[in-house]
Structure 1
Amino acid sequence: MASDVDGTPLVGRAELLATVCSALLDEAAGNTAAVFLTGESGVGKTRLLHEVGERLRDGDALVLTGSCLDIGDASPLHPLRQALRRLDADLAPPAAASVRALLAVFTEEATDPDGAGALLERVSRGLSVIAAGRRVVLVLDDLQWIDRTSRQLLLYLLAGLGDLQLSVLAAVRSESLQGAHPLRRVLTELRRLRSVRVFDLAPLDRAATEQLAAAVVRRPLASEAAEQLWRRSGGNPFVVEELSRDLRDGRDGLSDTLREVFLARVDALPGPARRAVHAVAAGVEPVEHWLLAQVVGLPEHDLLDAVRAAVSHRLLVGSDDGYRLRHRLVAEVLTDELLPAERAVLHRRYAEALASASGELHQARLAHHWRLAGEPERALPAALAAAQEAERLYGYAEAHRHWSVAVELTEGLPDVDRAALLGHAAEAAHHCGEYARALSLLEELAGTGSDLPACELYIRRARYLAAAGRSALAEAEYQHALQAADCTPRQRATAAARLAELLLHLGRYADAGQRAREALALAEGVDGATTEVVLASMALGFSEAYRQDPDAGLAVLRRALATAERAGRPEDVALAYLHLAELLTGPLNILEEGVVVARRGAERVAELGLGRSYGTRLLAIAANGLFRVGQWSEAEKVVSAALRHRPSGADAVELLLARCRLSVGYGDTEAADRDLDAAATMLAGGGARHVIPLLTLRAGLAMWQGRHDLARHTVQRGLTETRSDDLVILAVLVWHGLRAEAEAHAGRTVAVDDTAVRRLREIADRVARKSERAARPVRDVVDGYLALCAAEVSRLDGADPELWARAAAEWDRRNHPYPAAYSRLRQAEALLSRRRQTATAGKLLRQAYQTAQGLGAVPLAEEIATLAGRARIGLAERAVDAAPPAGTGGDELAALTPREREVLAAVAEGLTNKEIGQRLFISERTIGVHVSHIFDKLHVRTRVQASAIFLRSRR
């Protein structure tokens, strides 16, 4: 079942393909060379035979291709006959005469008085005539079915008994070489020859599996689909292609082709081995040997023989911890083959065996098997125990799964507190990032008529809504909780503290501080209100740090983190890290420390089971900090790591916005558009913290696309529809608005909107006045953006180079390379427009260009190059002088960023841009940007030259 050669790319086999071709043409091996490819059905042997044959044919070898038939010795020399007939059809009449003469030898075989030896010699001579001095490559597929005469011919030729230059390439199904199969002995003998090599084809690894699937589906797979396909296929290329076609064509279930293939393989097993495979398919992998023995009920010797047969047929994999199916797809196939009663019996045997085992009980597996055995009353206690154990170990995803199973099991069972189970399931769903599921379970709980107080219901609904990114609804629910008549002092303190935390997240720092003080006052009269004190302290400390005293506020946050760590409640620890990292990378602009805190926090909360939710947010904060200091390639790595969490809700929005900043900077407009659309879809009811950055990014993207009217409209939306005390994000939005008007004026694409300009200037003045009352670090950052605003306004009536010089100095002082490079571009543009200081303008453009290239900021670099070209200012020569030429000693790759080194390593492997992008989880266009920068920095023009430098640097 090899993949057909239908345009699907050959993936994961590039190195093996080169090795096989080299081995077959190895002159040092003498006249003969052979390569045998072994592997399970569908692993890609036939495809590799085809690719090797094509390469060798292009190299002027005579390639003869044939397949063996599963009919024993009924058709002697069939593969060679088939190969010669194909060759005869391809040759012109004069050249085909020798082929037909050799074919005639086969028809004379029955009456040949000289016997088999003479026949083999005549065939060898005939092949020599046909080859006419060229090397003959005999390609044989399905060698496990080779007939006796063909086997003798193969051994005769490989023994070098003729004078033929021969290479043999053959494929063998591993599962067919069982027992006394004659080919096993032949291969054993041939392995001893220096001219013979045997390669066992392993399944594809995960990256290659996703690459192949993406080629079939014609788009990258979503993370969940890729995970499921990898788990079901086990990396078998044939299975991957079949499943991918089903996915592409929208077919559910399992194709008849795959079903029949796997059923045939299972049916080929001896009876005891089939029983063992059926049992493992019904189990929870890995299935330990002692457990399988009790379920199957075979004597030890018979069980070992059965398992050995299943392993030899490539259906089971054995390891120290037990047995697994090589392909989980087998379980799907075999489930439908058993009667419901048979399945129930298997699961009951598993449950009884696990329950009777000495030592620790396997509660999760017990619950699984009792449930499928049709005994919910015995499954429920095990499910509850498994859920509690998972929570104790911070395994919230597993806990959510077990609580959900417990909820399902309560159907029809009397005297079970279903409401309590719903509450546990909802909380576990919230902790593991399944926010929609948490809200759904909470609504079901509310409808059960439980005695859960209304105030508690409001608080929990608000928490889940906030995590889902629906901030406006969450705020309303907290207000309802505070006003509820049944609200206890503890619940009132909780609602106030969590509302303060939400307001902080929305950027409403004054309101957050006020609510935090209320919460602290309420918590004073409540014993054990550690969580409330931690949350309120964080909100108050952040508010104070932003508005008045950074040092004092920062100290409060650090104390809150220490308190949370001592108390040990995971969510409190996560929130403390989150707000500390936000404060450092945001208002206080202590970026390096903030990135360290964010990354350390992400590791810590992952240990606490909150990696998918709070861990994702912390990594997004780290990525944003790295973006600001110009470490874009490192920010890409952080985003890629966070994406593996498959976040949802507000966590996903944070990450999408972080990735979009990189895409906008790189000029990958398609990726940026996708992320913005996805974030906007999730932001129903979102607050200014997300909405303003989203609209700012939308405006920036529109400007690079030349759509200045759209940029203007987007900025106006942000100024009208949102409310925030965060002067920084407001200043960034105003800058983008003024920049859009200046770009429209410069490009004459649309008329300048004087009303919009006036309004933007008024808001800039208001921001400046408010920033005077903010803490000094906040004022410093706001001043940088206000400097950009003033300089953009000057572009409307004659750009002022001094204003741009001031803006560049502001951003240099803060170590923000991107706005500094942009300011230098505009300063040079202003100088050139006044036709003066051309040398200074050239220096500024070269500095800006070098920064833009180092970042990978393609649109900015292109605009700089365009301006330099119009002014006839050279960029390359000075850029070259800035870095030592390649090959002059030292590290030749020193000029490359870590991400560029990763890309170069993949280029040296021979991967395409698309393949590299799939490996590194970034777009093909972004890879093209990196490759362009690598060429510029290494002063090369081709991938081969770049690869040579990389390989040389590793010596």
Structure 2
Amino acid sequence: MVWREAGGALIGRSGELDRLVGVLDAAAAGQAGVAAVGGDAGIGKTRLVTELVTRARAQGFAVLIGQCAELGDSLPYLPLADALRVAGDHPDPDLVAAIESWPLLRRLVPGASVEFGPEAGSGLTQQQLFGSMLGFLSDLSETRPVLFVLEDLHWADRSTRDLLVFLSRMLQHERVCLVGTYRTDDLHRRHPLRPLLAELQRLPTVTAVTLGPLDSADMSDYLVSLGGADAKVIGDIIERAEGNPFYAEELLAAEGLPYGLANLLLARVEKLSDPAQRVLRVAAVAGRRVDHELLQKVSGLAGAELEEAMREIVSRGLLLPDGDYGYAFRHALLREAIYTDLLPGERTRLHGEFTRIHDGPPAELAYHYLAGHDLPGALATSVEAGRRADCLGAPAEAHSHYDQALALWHQVPDAARVAGVGRARLAMLSASAANEYGDSHRAVQQMRELMAEEEVTSEFWERFAYYLIDADENPAAIEAAKTAVHLAAAPHPDAEGASAQNAGNDDGDPGHASRSLARALATYARALLWSDRHDEVKDLAGQALAVARSAGVHDAESSALITLAMVADIDGDTERTQELLALASVSSGDLSIDLRAVFHHARIQYERGSLAAAAVSADRGVRLAHEKGLSWSTYGTDLSFLRLLIHYVAGDWEQASAVAASFAVRVGRLPEARLSGYALFIEIARGDAIVEERMAWLKPFWGDGFVAYVVRGLAAEHALWNGDPRAAIEHIEAVITVLEPYDPGMIRICATGLWALAELGDDNRRDQADELLRRAQHAATIGPGSRARGEVGVEGQAWLARAEAEWRRIQGTADPDVWRAVAEAFDYGFVYEVARSRWRLTEALLAAGHREEAHHEWENALAAAEALGAVPLTRALADLGRRARFPSQKPRTAPSTIPHPPPNTSATSPDPATPPSRGAAVSPSRGVTAPAQAGHTAATEPPVSPPSGSALDTLTGREQEVLALVATGMSNREIAQRLFIAQKTVSVHVSNILGKLGVSSRTQAAAYVHHESHPS
């Protein structure tokens, strides 16, 4: 396809164009969007999108256009490379500046040199490229909106398909419009584009546009616009074309009506001169596009003769100029028809000519070698194509090329010399590529197949162990790593030469054994870290560190340091842990290991309460990820979340919200659902309106354990703030089923569940409360099975204190010191949780009669909540202040539905406007409960005194307070809320009162009070 400005009016597609323009306009306004345009071959997809391109350019859009081709499965990122090539042919200052900012993209520009540096095969290169493309589009869209068109996605390689899904998910508020076209008639049941389209169409940012046949009126108008004048001819064409405009156009140009589109296209070719037909056949073999010079060399035509043939072809609209030096078929259907019509020998000969003359990408050459039946050439270029794909960050294509080379291996004499690599090394490269694109099981299978055929090296066994770890086959990984260590430490003399040949380039290298041993020991220690042989890890990692330093193997050194740090952390040696991770964080030359080290360094600093240091480490990791285009890689997103968490804990909620805003709300895949869930920490605490929408999008992913832990755990808090403890308990029960009993996250979950039970105030759930507390304590102290895990961090300890305090609220046995201890436990820097703890401490102090101290704690909590913007907590504290009649609060007018106290009640009696609270919370010192419904918390008041005299004098002070409220008609729960005591305690007091007064009912007790207050 060659892009030209749209000519003439677009006929019959106004509705489809309007939908595409809507996506374009939304992008210009800052709402990124994607359009997937499908339809049969020749139905008008290109013409429709060309119209959109014309309009976008008129509106000042930067336009990028890339085309896939039938070689797409072999050529990674072909449409992206095409788009960058076009940008280079027609320099745009904004485009050039944006590309220069992302060096990895420059590798894709045709003709750019590609060096196989240390990043090749690292497993992060593709994530770097994806991040670079996202950054490139984001940067460019800050200057002007962007339209990026990818044509013929049915031919796209897997890496391009994955890139399209990534961009569709991650582009949110950038001024970017992505448009992809594809043939619906090419999508057989197992076509790889089918699942991608299904995935894209679930995203709310994606608009699906399907082109159907034009109706008769539109077809007639179209043919007239092309010069058709004979009504009978037009009618015949409309009947035969069945609404397909390309077919109709070819029929009109053909002066006859041969059957079938392929025959029709070939009929047009057969009208050309012999040289022109020869050129077209060469161009069809070339593929997607062909340079003028290459056409001349392969066709064998002299300069003037070729120019005359090209003038004839172009004048008939079969090939069109493409760039300054090449040509492309006007429509892919024409190229397919000509290529299919070639004789087998002719096709083989022409492909062979291209291998001798063409200096194109290795993947194209491999295609021509295979089609030309030159197997040695196909083997060599397949290996080279695999290496290039590896370096470009296209592991799926790399794996395909390496597999092709392995399939050819036994058909090529002296294959190792031809390929430039041993078979074992080639198998390892193929397995590595499979592991990099996420198929660790395929990597393991491939390694096992080779092991069944020949003896392999320590390096092979070490990689095998690494892939087994990724495939969750840890026992097998331990055995493989052990074998790797044994082979590296004591290689068999007879196997050394063969091992070197299989390894590839290490023959005669005296340091090879030491490097292999260092990596084998590091992987062995890593495999054992979470096994029941944990005690062996420290010595093994220490050996790995010593050997790695001696041999200068920086990646193994960093890996060993990280493992030793994990051991030190388990042993509770915080200083040693941070020292080791600081050393591991120094660049090892392996980005994966570097990011892993920085992340764990920041994580452990955070877990130990060193928030300032954790922020510095996390910022360094975030910067490193951004600079390398890895912001959206696994460790990149983990570091972003950790940074959000540090902001959240430290009380810097504006920064936390800025990070959360980058996490998509409308999610379609599990990885983005996990990321999106992190935003709920800050959004629920602030009471943001977006919470309900985000949770609705995340609900389909609750089956995932991690999503359930993060999202449903926070959804329980959200339910509590909204006065629904039963819903909160349902969330907590669901999370508990997916967490391991020893997971430290269990502590916070159980603490939230205990909060919900306290709100519910149901004595029949005491056993459930006991079980939640037991789970929390177990998670804080017991490691998995017989494995040591070390103590939980300061936050975990604080949440354990919270769980125990909530349990006491339920039991009615707490005192203010319990909640004061909780506040102190969170006072390592967790501003929000300190404020929440002071909320409960205020209630406990009020219940204990320490009004002045309660007022002080309440003021501190309220100030912190307001400063944070914690709306739900602020409301709860304000309500508590009103109930307690703290000086800064304005009294409220009592609604008439609430009964008033007796006329002789003290002026400082409880606020009659206070509605009854749902549930109870433990009041620490008195062993009684205080209402704790989020946002509706009661507060203590100066006691109400009933009249004295006769039997009333036998009542204790608390019993007199209870009786005065009984006389108003209050229930036991309402009395418990007013006096900050447990409902059960109220029941005991009422029984005692009835006995002392000698009455049998609450009504009689109330009458007794009234009689004594108003004697006749």
- Answer whether contact 1:538 1:556 (CA < 8 A) is retained: yes
Query: Which amino acid is the alignment partner of residue 701 of structure 1?
Result: A
> Which of 750, 753, 767 is 1:754 aligned to?
767
| Number of the residue aligned with 1:356 | 357
| Number of the residue aligned with 1:70 | none
| Number of the residue aligned with 2:47 | 41
Given the alignment of the two structures, is residue 673 of structure 1 paired with residue 699 of structure 2, yes or no? yes
Query: Structure 2 CA distance, aligned partners of 1:250 and 1:548?
Result: 47
- Answer whether contact 2:382 2:401 (CA < 8 A) is retained: yes
User: How far has the Cα of 1:740 moved from its partner?
Assistant: 0.4
| Number of the residue aligned with 1:851 | 868
Query: Structure 2 CA distance, aligned partners of 1:826 and 1:484?
Result: 57
Query: Which amino acid is the alignment partner of residue 23 of structure 2?
Result: G
- Answer whether contact 2:599 2:638 (CA < 8 A) is retained: yes
Query: Structure 1 CA distance, aligned partners of 2:566 and 2:857?
Result: 43
Query: Structure 1 CA distance, aligned partners of 2:28 and 2:541?
Result: 66
- Answer whether contact 2:598 2:618 (CA < 8 A) is retained: no
| Number of the residue aligned with 1:142 | none
1:318-352 superposed Cα distances (whole Å, 9 cap, x missing partner): 446866789xxx54785367417479967964663
| Number of the residue aligned with 1:593 | 616
> Which of 707, 727, 735 is 2:748 aligned to?
735
Q: Percent identity?
A: 22
1:209-247 superposed Cα distances (whole Å, 9 cap, x missing partner): 99xx9xxxxxxx9975587999xx983789899999995
Q: Residues 488 and 852 of structure 1: is their aligned pair in 2 closer, same or farther, counting only changes over 3 Å?
A: same
1:540-555 aligned at under 5 Å gives the runs 540-544=564-568, 547-555=571-579
- Answer whether contact 1:383 1:406 (CA < 8 A) is retained: yes
Query: Structure 1 CA distance, aligned partners of 2:635 and 2:325?
Result: 33
Query: Structure 2 CA distance, aligned partners of 1:839 and 1:304?
Result: 90
| Number of the residue aligned with 1:788 | 802
Query: Which amino acid is the alignment partner of residue 48 of structure 2?
Result: G
Query: Which amino acid is the alignment partner of residue 429 of structure 1?
Result: A
User: How far has the Cα of 1:435 moved from its partner?
Assistant: 3.1
Name the count of aligned residue pairs. Answer: 638
- Answer whether contact 1:390 1:398 (CA < 8 A) is retained: yes
- Answer whether contact 2:780 2:792 (CA < 8 A) is retained: no
| Number of the residue aligned with 1:602 | 625
- Secondary structure of the residue aligned to 2:765 is coil
Query: Which amino acid is the alignment partner of residue 791 of structure 1?
Result: A
| Number of the residue aligned with 2:757 | 744
- Answer whether contact 1:557 1:576 (CA < 8 A) is retained: yes
Query: Which amino acid is the alignment partner of residue 450 of structure 2?
Result: L
Q: Residues 712 and 751 of structure 1: is their aligned pair in 2 closer, same or farther, counting only changes over 3 Å?
A: farther
| Number of the residue aligned with 1:467 | 470
Given the alignment of the two structures, is residue 537 of structure 1 paired with residue 561 of structure 2, yes or no? yes
Structure 2 unmatched ranges of 5 or more: 1-10, 30-43, 56-144, 154-160, 171-176, 188-192, 202-209, 215-242, 254-264, 416-421, 490-512, 686-690, 720-725, 890-1016
Larger mean CA deviation between 801-810 and 533-542 belongs to: 801-810
Query: Structure 1 CA distance, aligned partners of 2:199 and 2:329?
Result: 27
Query: Structure 2 CA distance, aligned partners of 1:582 and 1:502?
Result: 21
Query: Which amino acid is the alignment partner of residue 339 of structure 1?
Result: T
- Answer whether contact 1:660 1:675 (CA < 8 A) is retained: no
Q: Residues 498 and 701 of structure 1: is their aligned pair in 2 closer, same or farther, counting only changes over 3 Å?
A: farther
1:631-650 aligned at under 5 Å gives the runs 631-636=655-660
Query: Structure 2 CA distance, aligned partners of 1:488 and 1:841?
Result: 66
| Number of the residue aligned with 1:98 | none
> Which of 205, 210, 235 is 2:179 aligned to?
235
> Which of 23, 28, 36 is 1:12 aligned to?
23
1:739-888 aligned at under 5 Å gives the runs 739-748=752-761, 751-754=764-767, 757=770, 760=773, 764=777, 767=780, 780-797=794-811, 804=819, 807=822, 811=826, 813-814=828-829, 816-820=830-834, 822-823=836-837, 826=840, 841=858, 844=861, 847-848=864-865, 851-852=868-869, 861=871, 865=875
- Answer whether contact 2:149 2:178 (CA < 8 A) is retained: no
- Answer whether contact 2:399 2:433 (CA < 8 A) is retained: yes
Query: Structure 1 CA distance, aligned partners of 2:568 and 2:25?
Result: 59
| Number of the residue aligned with 1:441 | 446
Query: Structure 2 CA distance, aligned partners of 1:464 and 1:660?
Result: 34
Query: Structure 1 CA distance, aligned partners of 2:185 and 2:826?
Result: 52
> Which of 424, 440, 443 is 2:429 aligned to?
424
Query: Which amino acid is the alignment partner of residue 452 of structure 1?
Result: V
Query: Structure 2 CA distance, aligned partners of 1:635 and 1:349?
Result: 56
- Secondary structure of the residue aligned to 1:235 is strand
| Number of the residue aligned with 1:909 | none
Query: Structure 1 CA distance, aligned partners of 2:298 and 2:883?
Result: 80
- Answer whether contact 1:581 1:594 (CA < 8 A) is retained: yes
- Secondary structure of the residue aligned to 1:41 is helix
Query: Structure 2 CA distance, aligned partners of 1:605 and 1:507?
Result: 37
Q: Residues 429 and 766 of structure 1: is their aligned pair in 2 closer, same or farther, counting only changes over 3 Å?
A: closer
- Secondary structure of the residue aligned to 1:752 is helix
- Secondary structure of the residue aligned to 2:379 is helix
Query: Which amino acid is the alignment partner of residue 497 of structure 1?
Result: A
- Secondary structure of the residue aligned to 1:602 is helix
User: How far has the Cα of 1:624 moved from its partner?
Assistant: 5.1
Query: Structure 2 CA distance, aligned partners of 1:659 and 1:324?
Result: 48
Structure richer in helix, relative to its length:
1
1:356-411 superposed Cα distances (whole Å, 9 cap, x missing partner): 35xx7632321133234454432211111233355567765654343233234447
Query: Structure 1 CA distance, aligned partners of 2:842 and 2:184?
Result: 55
Query: Which amino acid is the alignment partner of residue 670 of structure 1?
Result: A
1:610-759 aligned at under 5 Å gives the runs 615=636, 618=639, 621-622=642-643, 625=646, 628-629=649-650, 630=653, 631-636=655-660, 658=678, 666-667=691-692, 668-677=694-703, 679-680=704-705, 695=709, 697-702=711-716, 704=718, 706-714=726-734, 716-717=736-737, 721=740, 723=742, 730=744, 732-748=745-761, 751-754=764-767, 757=770
- Answer whether contact 2:645 2:656 (CA < 8 A) is retained: no
| Number of the residue aligned with 1:335 | 336
Query: Structure 2 CA distance, aligned partners of 1:344 and 1:660?
Result: 65
User: How far has the Cα of 1:425 moved from its partner?
Assistant: 0.5
1:265-306 superposed Cα distances (whole Å, 9 cap, x missing partner): 678698689999997786576754534555677756457757
CA RMSD of aligned residues (A): 6.1
Query: Structure 2 CA distance, aligned partners of 1:603 and 1:507?
Result: 38
| Number of the residue aligned with 1:189 | none
1:710-738 superposed Cα distances (whole Å, 9 cap, x missing partner): 4454565467x455xxxxx61x4213213
| Number of the residue aligned with 2:541 | 516
| Number of the residue aligned with 2:912 | none
Structure 1 unmatched ranges of 5 or more: 19-37, 50-203, 214-220, 681-690, 724-728, 854-860, 880-955
- Answer whether contact 2:382 2:402 (CA < 8 A) is retained: yes
Q: Bigger relative contact order, structure 1 or 2, given CA contacts below 8 A and separation 6+? A: 2
Query: Structure 2 CA distance, aligned partners of 1:810 and 1:540?
Result: 29
| Number of the residue aligned with 1:450 | 454
Query: Which amino acid is the alignment partner of residue 781 of structure 1?
Result: E
User: How far has the Cα of 1:10 moved from its partner?
Assistant: 5.4
- Answer whether contact 1:711 1:737 (CA < 8 A) is retained: no
Query: Which amino acid is the alignment partner of residue 366 of structure 2?
Result: A
| Number of the residue aligned with 2:992 | none
- Answer whether contact 1:741 1:753 (CA < 8 A) is retained: no
- Secondary structure of the residue aligned to 2:22 is coil
Query: Structure 2 CA distance, aligned partners of 1:336 and 1:802?
Result: 86
TM-score (norm 2): 0.50
